[in-house]
Homo-oligomer: A and B are copies of this chain.
Amino acid sequence: GAGTDGDLYISQAVVFIEDAIQYRSINHRVDLNSLWLYRWYYSRIWQWILSLTITIILALAFIEKPSSLTVTSDVRYRLPAWNPPCGLTESIELLCFLVFMVDVSVKSYLIGWEEFWKNKWLMAYILTLIVSLTDWIVSLSFFCAEVMRIRRILRPFFLLQNSSMMKKTLKSINSTLPEMASVVLLLAVHLSLFTMFAMLLFARTKDGQQDKEWLVYFRNLPDSLTSLLVLLTTANNPDVMIPAYSKNRAYSIFFILFTVLGNLFLMNLLTAIIYNQFRGYLLKSVQSSLFRRRLGIRAAFEVLSSLKEAPANAQQSYVSTGALLQVLQKVEMDSRCKQAIVRSLKTYSCDQLSAAQFQKLFEELDKNGIKQHPPSPEYQSHFMQKMQFAFGHPYFGYLGNVVALANIISICVVLVMDADKRPSERDDFFLGAINCFFILYYLLEMLLKILAMGLKRYLSYPSNRFDGLLTVILLALEIATFAVYGFPHPGWRPEVMGLLSLWDMVRLVNMLIVFRFLRIIPNMKFMSLVVTTLLDLVKNLRAFAGILVVVFYAFAITGIMLFKGAVVPPGNTRPPFILREPISFKEKCDFMVLFGYLQDNIIYCLLYLLSVNLLCRWAKIYFVAWWLISSVIWVNLFVALLLENFIHKWDRRCHREPVSDVEYQRTVELMFRDVLEEPTEEELMEKLQQHPHLQLCR
């Protein structure tokens, strides 16, 4: 009947508007039951369960068997890691798999059968689940003593497929691959030609004294290739050329030529290529988000307009404000935004909304970036007004910065004076006294500012929140110190009482004071530009960081599997140039694979492996791949994004008017607002016609 149809249309409109808010695609089933399932699937609770499951399955690696997660990494001191009994991690895994199976079935059902066959991500999801389950069964049938667990390498896939941003980024990276491959090929040609040259140049001579270069670095083809590859990472520079250089200075020309061509030209060419490919990436991604938002709104308009009986020959369709109000009540969205829409809806005199008016109403959604600070309190007393003027003035803030600087300098002076003193000789009186004074000043500053601005306005500035929080923590610490150790006096060196020694307390306070000094950042123009760029970058980099986590995880698991038996006992085999501490190879590589964000780590590891003759072919390929992906490609991606962000910001810096009391929340959407193109009506309608489940009347 018409009533059921009406309910359906209302529900469809609600879901489409929610899609628009969340920048989701609207290509899903639109019958009543599916809509209910869809809203449940995207409800906060199910998405939270899904995220939790992904976190749990990824975190399993830290407690599973070959893990070495202990506080200390020194093999001499550390306790054996806890070994969970067989079946514990496996049953957690099974639970996770069950959640994923529900997830994949709901997702597949919602997009519909035809779309499912086109969606490679969903197919891969199902395949991964099947392989993981098979591997899990094999594992259990061997009572957890199987040779290798393939499913552990597959785990990061679950993280990847759950984020649309990450999938989009991966697609972008994928489209850059041909060019990157060309440069890598060029690097390979460069490397192989120079290797042949080197082998001919540093051949074995009849005079045994003279061929140190051959002996150490260019003994055979793999050695030569490795030497030059490591030179490309600059890790063994200049060691690799010293023997030849000390024989004849002219040999250095070979190495200089190799490094200039390889490092300066080809490596930077990679940066240029990646930057060139990613120049439009952010804009494109924001543009497609905008299209999704407009499409969702338009779809809601279309379904609502079919609610009413319109004349068949009417050129324009309309939506009644009543229907929209009904929809708005059911939509889950930011309440401030909803109120604003309802308010502007009520200003319309006419009961009928055209498509353009409908879109205009929802432009409120794009405006969430502008934030008004609450006003200062208005005092009646003349004295209070003067106080308010004095302590609300920027100069009072500058005075606070000067005091913080003075505090930093005093700590620095004490540190320099106490540098060589033994802990027992140290007198904590001076530091205790000045810190006490400074913390009192900070407290006073905070209170006066709250007095001048009012609590609400004070808290609306992030810099004040940062400031206030640290001041409160410092105060609490100081009070705790005095409660336990009494007031400072000369020769104040009490014994340890309670959790922390006095020295540790003082150190903690000092560290917090150093940290608090960062409040000066917004006061320096260039610094605040840099910091806001960096914060933007961090926001835009979430997808990249996710992909990085996926790659790190896969590499770490592969590394653990490859080098399971490679633990070297600390002893004489340790090469002299690498470590002063007796630390095992596994320890080092393990640590590097997890935190190895810099090429040098890996190259040290490679050198180490080479020197203890442990390096099998697989390890070499593993490390070269690691170096290429983590250091070369990822760092270049990062540089490309930074360039993009920074140059855009820099260009706009001059144009933006100084807005006094309005603070922009820095979102990418806002950054590109003046460059974005609004999708045309035709584009929107064409896309709507292609919807696989929605049949529009027109």
Mask of A403-431 contacts with B, CB within 8 angstroms, 1/0: 00000100110011001111110000000
Residues of B within 8 A of A642 (CB): 265, 268-269, 271-272
Interchain CB contact (< 8 A) of A415 among B183, B200, B260, B424: B200
Q: Is A623 an interface residue (CB 8 A)?
A: no
Find residues 167-221 in chain A having any chain B CB closer than 8 Å to their own CB.
179, 182-183, 186, 193, 196-197, 199-201, 203-206, 212, 216, 219-221
Indicate if the CB atoms of B71 and A221 lie closer than 8 Å. Answer: no
- 25 A-B contacts (beta carbon < 8 Å): A72-B247, A72-B248, A74-B247, A186-B527, A186-B530, A193-B514, A197-B511, A200-B415, A201-B511, A203-B507, A212-B581, A220-B416, A237-B601, A242-B579, A243-B581, A256-B595, A256-B597, A263-B598, A264-B597, A264-B638, A269-B530, A272-B639, A272-B642, A275-B647, A577-B578
Chain B: minimal CB distance from A466 (Å) = 15
Asked if A142 is at the interface (CB within 8 A of a chain B CB), the reply is no
Given contacts A219-B420, A238-B592, A272-B646, 20 further A-B contacts (CB under 8 A): A71-B248, A72-B247, A73-B246, A182-B527, A183-B530, A196-B510, A199-B419, A206-B423, A221-B412, A221-B419, A234-B599, A235-B600, A237-B598, A238-B601, A238-B604, A245-B591, A259-B598, A264-B638, A269-B530, A577-B578
Cα distance A279–B646 in the bound complex, in angstroms: 13
**Which residues of chain B are within 8 angstroms of A423 by Cβ–Cβ distance?**
204-206
B646 near A245 (CB under 8 angstroms)? no
Residues of B within 8 Å of A273, CB to CB, are 646, 650
A557 to B128, CA, bound (A): 64
- Which residues of B sit under 8 angstroms from A510, Cβ to Cβ? 196, 200
Interface status of A402 (Cβ within 8 A of chain B): no
Q: Is the CB of A591 within 8 A of B647?
A: no
The minimal Cβ–Cβ distance linking A337 to chain B, given in whole angstroms, is 33
A332 contacts partner chain B, Cβ-Cβ < 8 Å? no
A643 touches B221 (CB 8 A): no
Chain A residues in contact with chain B, CB under 8 A? 69-74, 179, 182-183, 186, 193, 196-197, 199-201, 203-206, 212, 216, 219-221, 234-235, 237-239, 242-243, 245-250, 252, 256, 259-260, 263-265, 268-269, 271-273, 275-276, 279, 408, 411-412, 415-416, 419-424, 503, 507, 510-511, 514, 517-518, 526-527, 530, 533-534, 537, 576-581, 583, 591-592, 595, 597-601, 604, 635, 638-639, 642-643, 646-647, 650
Across the interface, name the chain B residue whose C-beta is closest to A194. B514
Smallest distance from the beta carbon of A631 to chain B beta carbons, Å? 11
Judging by beta carbons under 8 Å apart, are A412 and B196 in contact? yes
Decide if B579 touches A576 in the complex (CB within 8 Å).
Answer: no
Q: Smallest CB–CB gap between A574 and chain B, Å? A: 12
**Chain B residues in 8 Å Cβ range of A507:** 200-201, 203
Residues of B within 8 A of A530 (CB): 182-183, 186, 269
Determine the distance from Cα of A196 to Cα of B404 in the docked complex, in whole angstroms: 14
State whether B511 touches A583 (Cβ < 8 A).
no
By beta carbon, the residue of chain B nearest A199 is B415
In the bound complex, how far is the Cα of B220 from the Cα of A252, in angstroms? Answer: 38
**Least CB distance, A473 to chain B, in whole angstroms:** 16
Chain B residues within an 8 Å CB radius of A581: 212, 242-243, 246
